Amino acid sequence: MAKKLEFGVIGLGRMGGNLSRQALEKGIKVAGYTQGTIDRGLIKMGLCAVKSVGEFKEHLSPPRAIFLYIPSGPAVDLLIDQLSVVLDKGDIIVDAGNSYWGDSIRRAAWLKEKEIYLVDLGTSGGIEGARHGACFMAGGSREAVKFIEPILLKLAVKDGYIHAGGSGSGHFTKLVHNGIEFGMLQAIAEGVDLLKHYNEQLDIADILRCWRNGSVIRSWLVDLMEQQYRAQGGFDSVPPYIEDTGEVNWLVADALRMETPIPVISQAVMQLFASRDAKKYWARSIAMMRHGFGGHPFGHNKAAREERKKGKVGEIK
């Protein structure tokens, strides 16, 4: 396949929209489709707006790469089914959301029968990463990944790209990443909780600033903790209820099947559940960091709750 720097995007929200902005700034042609109205700023930057999934064929030359940035679950199957009818043989669908890796293996096998490729692309770095340089973990055939690789290298931070392996490996790698993230969030949050319960009032914001500079635990998450602690004026305005979309629950189920112990990640998931019944400073801390890197909502969120409850957790279909 010849290389070209153009692609389509379905889903122009926080991730898909910001990735498109970065691509357009770097001279990559982007054709985009989303439910509702497309942001006028994207149009002004040069986004080629399409009104239906069928119109991608008019704006992209074959073989085409269409990136999906939509919530995981049945919506992905529905969209892939629609695309499979309108795309040509050799075209590539890139599922860049947080789909379950078992679903990605199934979808890739189904599309292979139609001679259409599926690349499962784990995307990390949050909204900021999508806008200025993401971390990509790709899974799929070498031929398909090689075709989109020049685009990914343009949109990734230095050394922030890997072809992890065959179908499913990109989403599995991202799922493990999210599990590690949960464990790190929990550890930092429990530390902040301890600071809050010391026998005299400590300047938590300044302690976090200190930790950011030269300490063993310096990290982007500690950066976000300080930034959000200052931005929110402490804990009082932050609900202790932590929403999530349930992906790490899949990893816990996978670990049980693999008979691989992940006590820290599993306990982090349990503690997230516990946040929904108790007012804890560690829960507010995690909520702050999650808001910082992903724009995740504070407190109850109907959309996240509905996404979490879709289907059976961790089922390989």
Q: Do residues 305 and 91 touch, judged by C-beta distance below 8 A?
A: no
> Measured in Å, how far apart are the chain's first and last C-alpha atoms?
31
Helices H, strands E: what count in the chain? 14, 8
> What is the Cα 205 distance to its own chain's centre?
28
Q: Name 79's Cβ contacts closer than 8 Å, sequence gap at least 6.
A: 10, 53, 68, 70
Residues 309, 19: Cα–Cα separation, whole Å: 27
What is the Cα gyration radius of the chain?
20
Q: What is the largest CA-CA distance in the chain?
A: 67
Q: How far lies 126's CA from each of 109, 122, 129, 218, in Å?
A: 29, 11, 5, 18
H or E stretch covering 308: helix 302-308
Find the catalytic residue in 44, 112, 158, 174: 174
Return all residues near 262 (Cβ < 8 A) that are at least 6 apart: 179, 251, 252, 255
Cβ–Cβ under 8 Å, residues 31 and 56: yes
Which one of 3, 4, 25, 181 is the catalytic residue? Answer: 181
Q: Is 174 among the catalytic positions? A: yes
Q: How far apart are CA 169 and CA 311, in angstroms?
A: 21
- Token code pair at residue 25: 């700034």
Closest CA to 80 of 97, 61, 63: 97
Q: Give the catalytic positions in this structure.
A: 174, 181
